[in-house]
Amino acid sequence: MDFNTAIEQHVKSRLEASFGKAVAMLIVASASNKVNAPMVGMSKDQYLSLCTVICEDQRVVDMWGTSGATDALLSWQQLV
């Protein structure tokens, strides 16, 4: 699966289910800025870094717990 599809169909959709569209977009945008990952044409390393930062975001940890955030990260890593 390519990185953009993984982000759109899995990462963003899971975040949107928990946080709503607006907050999910803020979490993804914040993580993207932190790892300097473009939303189009990113490398595998950038994708993996983006997913890691998303799962380390305090809002995500507060909502899903450490275990839930780790589970999400592992599932997203396996997509690519």
Cα(19)–Cα(17) distance, rounded to whole angstroms?
Answer: 6
Across the range 28-33, mean pLDDT stands at: 96
More confident residue, 38 or 10: 10
**Residue-range domain boundaries for the chain:** 3-77
Judge whether residue 40 has pLDDT over 90.
no
* pLDDT at residue 36, as a whole number: 92
> Can you give the pLDDT at residue 2?
85
Query: Residue 48 — very low, low, confident or very high, per pLDDT cuts 50/70/90?
Result: very high
Q: How confident is the model at residue 47 (pLDDT cuts 50, 70, 90)?
A: very high
Give the CA-trace dihedral at 28, 31, 33, 39, to 10 degrees. Answer: -50
